[in-house]
Amino acid sequence: MSRIFALMSGKGGVGKSTLAAAMAVYYARQHLRVTLLDGDIGLRCVDLMLGLQDRVIYDLGDLMEKRCLPEQALVSPEEMPGLSLLAAPQLMKASDIKGKELAALIAQLSAETDILLIDAPAGVGRGLKNVLGAHARPILVVTPDDVSLRDAERLSSILAEREEERPGLIVNRARPRLIRRGEMMAPAAMAQVLDLPLLGVLPESEKMYRAFLRHESPLDCGDHAVADAVACAASRMLGADTPLPDYGPRPFLRFFERKGGAAL
């Protein structure tokens, strides 16, 4: 039976699409059949992140309007035939998509894959509502700041009102040094505030951003902490009890704090 996950965020710019692309690559490298659906109508970007921008001929809009077959709309990297991308349409609006028809398409796609990842639109507008009701587990992607936390609270409440499955939480762009200094909210604290299970924590990484500019997967950015964090979150989404990184004070920091020294 396939697993369906919808990566969501209360605001844009938190790295949700980058994470969705990275997880799709991770699952494919675990020899799972993976389909990644870019649900950000009018603002597609996942094809760029996977280096597939020159191979997209048909998209989600074409498929829903029956201008093509699923096998014509799904594109795969040559080196990863187990990964398929269904790109979002660029010339449509979210209101052009009917939620029930999209849910039926998601069910059809999920029958042919092990993992179906949906990169849902950011925010709480019509685009997100199209994805709700597709029997996907919501995964909220946030950054450790008050604005992202507030937007995530709003999104979580909407999901509860709609009686969607309880979301999981992934914190992106965490900076361990700032967390240990108390300048940045700890991922565990964010999970506690939102009352959501913490599934993963990804560190801030310049190498990850440079990989994004080169249209390369974050898994290949050369930052082992990023690759390990993606693997941890992806495995925990499937129910594994993989340990999360520890962002508590290190022993030598506690020593300096007791002596009245500045935290490093």
* Torsional class of 260: left (φ above 0), alpha (ψ -120 to 50), beta (otherwise): left
| Element of type H or E holding 75 | strand 74-75
Kindly report, residue by residue over 85-96, the tens digit of the pLDDT.
Answer: 999 888 777 777
Task: List the domain boundaries for the chain.
Answer: 3-258
| Residue 189: pLDDT band with limits 50, 70, 90 | very high
- Contact status, residue 63 vs residue 105, Cβ threshold 8 Å: yes
Strand order in the sheet with 198-203: 74-75, 83-86, 34-38, 115-119, 3-8, 137-142, 168-174, 198-203
CA distance 127 to 242: 33
Q: Parallel, antiparallel, or unpaired for β 74-75 and 34-38?
A: unpaired
Burial label for 244, CB within 10 Å (0-12, 13-18, 19+), is: middle
Tokens of 28: 């494919």
| Residue 249: pLDDT band with limits 50, 70, 90 | low
Residue with tokens 């675990």: 30
| Residue 191: pLDDT band with limits 50, 70, 90 | very high
Q: What is the pLDDT of residue 89?
A: 86
Kindly report, residue by residue over 59-75, the tens digit of the pLDDT.
Answer: 988 888 889 998 999 99
Q: What is the pLDDT of residue 261?
A: 46
Closest alpha carbon to 87 in 124, 115, 50: 50
Backbone angles phi, psi at 68, to 5 degrees: -160, 170
CA distance 182 to 249: 10
Q: What is the pLDDT of residue 92?
A: 78
Burial label for 36, CB within 10 Å (0-12, 13-18, 19+), is: buried
pLDDT at 260 exceeding the cut of 60: no
CA distance 7 to 120: 6
| Fold that domain 3-258 belongs to in CATH | Rossmann fold (3.40.50)
Closest alpha carbon to 10 in 167, 121, 136: 121
Alpha helix (H) ranges present in the chain?
Answer: 16-29, 46-49, 60-64, 70-73, 99-110, 126-131, 146-161, 176-181, 187-194, 206-213, 224-237, 251-258
Q: Which residue has the higher pLDDT, 173 or 134?
A: 173
Q: What is the pLDDT of residue 119?
A: 92
